[in-house]
Copies of this chain bind each other. A is one copy, B any other.
Amino acid sequence: MSKIKVGVLGATGMVGQNYVRLLENHPWFEVSFVAASPSSAGKKYSEAVSGRWHMPVPVPDAVKGLVVEDASQVAKAVGKCAFVFSALEMDKQAVQNLECEYAAHDIAVVSNASAHRWTEDVPMLIPEINPDHLAAVETQRRNRGWQKGFIVVKPNCSLQSYLTPVYALMQAGYEVRRMILATMQAVSGAGYPGVASMDIVDNVIPFIGGEEEKSEKEPLKILGRIEGGKFVNDASLVISAHCNRVPVVDGHTACVSIEFGPKKPSKDEVLAVWRKFRAVPQELKLPLAPLQPIIYLDAANRPQPRKDRDNDKAMAVTIGRLRECPVFDLRFVGLSHNTVRGAAGGGILNAELLKAQGFLD
């Protein structure tokens, strides 16, 4: 089987670089098109990222020589790739328009950008949680007159550390009513140059613009349902998120207190739910799917970002410290790799799901 040709929009930025890195040797996809801002357009990819390649491996040979295109010239992509990963960094309206334009040109868009997360016919996917939201793709095409194109997005990186474990409990029949959580987020989440070193060496920044709102609201759409072709948010859950930046390179950690509805699981029941949790990406054996989406560690002082972020190709959520909460019912610590599971890796898993379910044919 020949591989599906894919493009990367915003290919020279941090998320774009992660796409290029993670797609090297991918069994289904190969990067055939890279696009970025006009300032990079016309350069070879290796030149465009020279001096600002942040990956721990060299630029893949297969991408080095690709000429970077101007991402706003959509016609350049036609015929060069079946779909694109969007890591565009522009203002919201510009990203919305550009992603729609790609879709209108029969090029599916698997996006990391936040622009379309609240567009009413665009699904915000975590493949382990809401693969059924892909039903919105048909609605989207119908609404907009697109033939093959469509847009799917992934949520913010901060919520990956806790939403899958919470969803697993909901799915097992335990209503979760309220959550108060605090995140300790890695500097890579802010892109490059992102956080100034003067702000983070020997320091913590207890604020990340827009992050708390995303962490509180995006889960409600992901956990929601489709009614009459529209997304209806989950109305049973309320979240309070305190988001902090800490001197960690990669890996977002979250301390979470949860309150259940009347049916409250014991700690053993929670552990059993987490340990046996498997979902569609595991059933479909998607290449980048973690074998075990939720890894629970028994050691008293885990998970820790540097030691656990790379678990299972950096795609697993690692959990620990499940214990009673004096105020709510239970509390735990969750961790996920923000630039892999929470960004490019999550985008690739979305694309793998789309491919496996026939949306990219």
Residues of A that sit less than 8 Å from B by CB: 14, 50-51, 54, 56-58, 178-182, 184, 187-188, 190, 192-207, 209, 216, 238-240, 242, 244, 246-249, 253, 255, 257, 299-307, 310-311, 320-321, 325-328, 331, 333
Closest Cβ of chain B to A341, distance in Å, is 15
Cross-chain contact B196 with A196 (CB below 8 angstroms):
yes
Copies of this protein in the complex = 4
Cross-chain contact A201 with B257 (CB below 8 angstroms):
no
Q: Which 8 A-B pairs have the closest CB atoms?
A: A182-B182, A193-B196, A242-B255, A207-B301, A240-B327, A202-B202, A203-B306, A195-B197
Residues on B with beta carbons closer than 8 Å to the beta carbon of A57: 310
Residues on B with beta carbons closer than 8 Å to the beta carbon of A184: 184, 204, 244, 246
Q: What 16 additional pairs, Cβ within 8 angstroms, besides A201-B249, A204-B304, A242-B257?
A: A51-B301, A58-B311, A179-B327, A193-B199, A200-B201, A201-B201, A201-B248, A202-B248, A203-B307, A204-B246, A204-B253, A206-B301, A206-B304, A206-B333, A244-B255, A246-B246
Known: A299-B51, A327-B178. A198 touches B202 (CB 8 A): no
Cross-chain contact B320 with A242 (CB below 8 angstroms):
no
Q: For the complex, what is the distance from the CA of A216 to the CA of B327, rounded to whole Å?
A: 10
Cross-chain contact B328 with A240 (CB below 8 angstroms):
yes
Cross-chain contact B327 with A205 (CB below 8 angstroms):
no
- Of the residues B51, B56, B179, B193, contact of A193 by C-beta under 8 Å: B193
Residues on B with beta carbons closer than 8 Å to the beta carbon of A257: 180, 240, 242
Q: For the complex, what is the distance from the CA of A333 to the CA of B245, rounded to whole Å?
A: 13
Residues on B with beta carbons closer than 8 Å to the beta carbon of A182: 181-182, 242, 255
Residues on B with beta carbons closer than 8 Å to the beta carbon of A196: 192-197
Residues on B with beta carbons closer than 8 Å to the beta carbon of A14: 198
Q: List 23 A-B contacts (CB under 8 A).
A: A14-B198, A50-B299, A51-B300, A54-B198, A56-B306, A184-B184, A187-B197, A192-B196, A193-B198, A195-B197, A196-B196, A197-B201, A199-B304, A200-B201, A204-B248, A204-B305, A205-B301, A206-B253, A206-B301, A206-B304, A209-B300, A240-B326, A244-B253
Q: For the complex, what is the distance from the CA of A200 to the CA of B199, rounded to whole Å?
A: 12
Residues on B with beta carbons closer than 8 Å to the beta carbon of A304: 199, 203-206
Residues on B with beta carbons closer than 8 Å to the beta carbon of A244: 184, 253, 255
Identity of the chain B residue whose Cβ is nearest the Cβ of A177 in the assembled complex? B327
Known: A304-B206, A328-B180. A56 touches B310 (CB 8 A): yes
Residues on B with beta carbons closer than 8 Å to the beta carbon of A300: 51, 207, 209
- By CB atoms of chain B within 10 A, which of A182, A240, A247 has the most? A182
Residues on B with beta carbons closer than 8 Å to the beta carbon of A299: 50-51
Cross-chain contact A247 with B54 (CB below 8 angstroms):
no
